[in-house]
Amino acid sequence: MKLPELSPDKLLNLRTFMMFNLVVFLAKVAYSFALDFPGGYFEDWHIAKNLVEHGIYSEFINVGPTAYKLPVYPLFISLFMLAFPAFPFEALVTVQHIIYFFIPFLLIRISGIFRKEKAGVLTAYFFIFSPVYFYYSNVAEVTNIFVPIFLIWLYQYFKIYIGHKFYRPDFILLGFISAALFLTQVVAVPMVIFLLLYLYLRNKIRFSALAFILFTISVFYSPWIIRNHIVFDKIILTKTPFWHNVYFGFVPQVNIIKEVQLISEEHERYTSGLRKSVDEFEMEKIFKKETLRVLNGKETVFFKKAIQNAFLLWYVPARYYDEGFTALFGRKFMVLGMNIVTVFALFYFFRFHRRFFYFSILVFFNFTVPYMIGHAANTRFKLDFEWFQYAVISLFIYEKWFRINEEKAIKKVAVQLPENRES
């Protein structure tokens, strides 16, 4: 019996994709229940727990209030602790699976703005069949809501960029989503601000509209700054751990270059324990002092660390670097292939789609540089934007093969059609 052929046209059909997406969603739910919800939780979970149980936004209740993490994800987690006190983690993970079910449709809708729906469907296939995204919705980490919020922001942004008629609600919505994005991950701030300015510089919106969007952002963002000033009597625009991230970038377990491993494991264990009894402002002083001490006379090491971190971000974190068979044929093999194709894709877009090339460089640069300064210890840092790498690859494949084949098929049909002759 001959199996039905799944042609590229059928594969990129939305109905076909929905079938695969549903199967993957059910597989993720089954995986979570079968393995008793294997993902972990970290600082955001502890903050949410203390917020629900003690009414204090704090990681360590004995230390007091914190600004160590931005508020959107801890508040999101707290909803499940309040609504499902008996099984909050299971409820959270299930909802994250549902969110991941809808993320591909956002990718397709954004592509549709540029009339590239099939490229969007191909991106969506990359997303749902990605092993790391398959697993990661099991983990209580901010990436799980940052990605959809960022995609919603891009959808609203490109609607305004491409459109011709705008209304005040469009600008309010863009401002609100921007504020939500800023309160989820600070890494998005530079790129978003630049792209908003770009709308004005390209004459897509008037200056009054830009001012209104920025005003809307400030209205929705300001409660976080006001809260921090009331609680700490300090102006904290984003979150507190700057020197902590720089310090952690020199500990042995996050580096593969010996020369960069300037901070001993003993000192890292000491500061890790100290965090549970000393507030984050004093800890920042400790982190800063130790970082500057070990860098004294070795300032060039900072640049070696930056290059190493960029490599690890685009490959695998240091703890997986020397891992054997599983990592090699899993994450390592996948990212090497993706990175090679991405390079070819960028060369192609530089030649034929210059504006998309510049946008891609902006995205990759924005999400790479912060981790060159701090550390690249976690896979989730790459997951914040790996979906965009799928989009670059998918558009490249679509432009190079699928679209060209479609055009050839259309021409072939046109040639075969009988000419209309006047009698």
Dump pLDDT digits (tens) for 308-367: 999 999 999 988 887 766 655 678 889 999 999 999 999 999 999 999 999 999 999 999
pLDDT of residue 329: 62
Cβ proximity of 179 and 217 under 8 Å: yes
Dump pLDDT digits (tens) for 185-212: 999 999 999 999 999 999 999 999 999 9
Question: What's the pTM value of the predicted model, to 2 decimals?
Answer: 0.92
- Cα atoms in the 13 Å half-sphere on the side-chain side of 14: 11
Alpha carbon distance 146, 110 (integer Å): 16
Nearest to 153 by CA among 116, 189, 115, 200: 189
Alpha carbon distance 112, 143 (integer Å): 24
Say if residue 13 is exposed, middle or buried (CB neighbours under 10 Å; 0-12, 13-18, 19+).
middle
Dump pLDDT digits (tens) for 363-402: 999 999 999 999 998 999 999 999 999 999 999 999 988 7
